[in-house]
Amino acid sequence: MVFDIFSDTSTINVLGTQVSVASLVIGAIIMVAGVVVARIISTLFKRYFATNLPGNVATNLHKLIYYGIIIVTLLAVITSQGIDLSGLMVAGGIFGIVIGFAAQSVVSNLFSGIFLMFDRPAKTGDLIEIPQSNTYGRLMDITIFSTRIKLFDGSIMRVPNEKIFTSEIRNVSGSEVRRLEVTLGIAYKEDIDHAIAVIKKAVSRLPYVLREPKPEVWTEQLADSGVNLKVLTWIPRDEWDNVGPILLKEVKKDIDDAGIEIPFPQRVVHYANNQGETR
C-alpha cells in the first residue's frame, strides 16, 4: 500500500481515494479498540469455556476468535474510509479460485476439523475405532487438518479430518462399562444347561466382572461339529486388559474339570464296496 501525501496535509491518497487525516485517526482508534475487544473476548472464552474443551480444540478456537475479530475490524475500517477494494477483490477472487482447485483436500480437512471440534465424537484419551479404515487406538488430539491416533503397537497414525468426519466412529470409552463377548463350543452329547451353569460359575469368579448386569450365556449356533455358546459379561470400561485375555482360559479350566467335551472338526464318510453295500 503506497501513501501519496499532497501539499494539502488534511487528506491522504490511499489506493486512489482521498481520505482525511481525521478519518484515518478515527480508523486507527477503531482498529485499536477492535484488538482490545478481541483480546477481551478471547480471554473470556479461554477462562470460562475452554476448560470444557480438549486442549487442542480450545487453543484453535481461541486463535480463531481472536484473529477473526481483528480481520472483521480491519475490513470495517477500510470500508468506512471509502477505499475501493474492488480491484483487489477481483484479483483475490481469481487467485482464490486457483488456490481452491489446488487445495480442495486441505480446505475439506480444515472444515472437517472445525466441525469435529464442535461435534466432539470423542475426547482426548478415548479409545476409538474407525471400522471403515480398520483403525483402532487411543485418540491423541484433533487439530485443524488432521487427527492423531495412538495404536496399540505404540505407533501414531495421522488421519485426515475429512476421513474422520465422513466415517463411522465407535467410541469404546463413551460409557462407564462395556460388554465382553466370546464364543466357545461344546459337543452335541453334552448337557447344554449343565455347561451353561459351569460357564456362568467360571465367569462370575473372575475379578472385575459385574454382578449387574449379570453374565449371560446364549446358545448361539448348532454348528457342524458342536453347539456354539456365546458368553456375554459386563466389565468396567478400563478393566478389559484384566478380564479379556484370561476369560476363555478360566472357562476352559472349569469345563475340563467338569468333564465337558470341547468339540473338534468331525466328518462322517460313507463308501460302497463292489457288491453295492454302503458302509
Number of domains in the chain: 3
What pTM does this model have? 0.54
Residue 43 belongs to a domain: yes
Has residue 200 been placed in a domain?
A: yes
Looking at the domain assignment, is residue 272 inside a domain? no
- pLDDT tens digit sequence for 151-208: 988 899 988 888 888 888 888 887 888 888 999 999 999 999 999 999 999 998 888 8
Tens-digit pLDDT profile for residues 138-167: 988 888 788 889 998 889 998 888 888 888
239 lies in the same domain as 187:
yes
**Domain encompassing residue 31:** 3-84
Separation between Cα atoms, residue 231 and residue 156, nearest integer Å: 33
Q: Which amino acid is at 238?
A: D
> What is the CATH classification number for the domain harbouring 227?
3.30.70.100
Between CA 104 and CA 217 the distance in angstroms is 51
Which among 171, 186, 206 is the end of a domain?
171
Distance CA 161, CA 159 (A): 6
pLDDT digits (tens, 9 = 90+) for 103-132: 567 677 777 877 887 778 888 888 888 888
Does residue 263 lie in a domain region? no
Single residue among 110, 136, 171 that ends a domain in this structure = 171
Residue at which a domain ends, from 136, 171, 206 = 171
Greater pLDDT, 66 or 58? 66
* pLDDT interval class at 61 (50, 70, 90): confident
150 and 223 in a single domain? The answer is no
**Do the beta carbons of residue 203 and residue 196 sit within 8 Å?**
no
Q: What is the pLDDT of residues 229-276, one digit of tens each?
A: 999 999 998 888 888 888 999 999 999 999 999 887 767 777 766 665
Q: What is the pLDDT of residues 87-106, one digit of tens each?
A: 555 555 655 565 555 556 76
Closest Cα partner for 241 from 192, 206, 265? Answer: 206
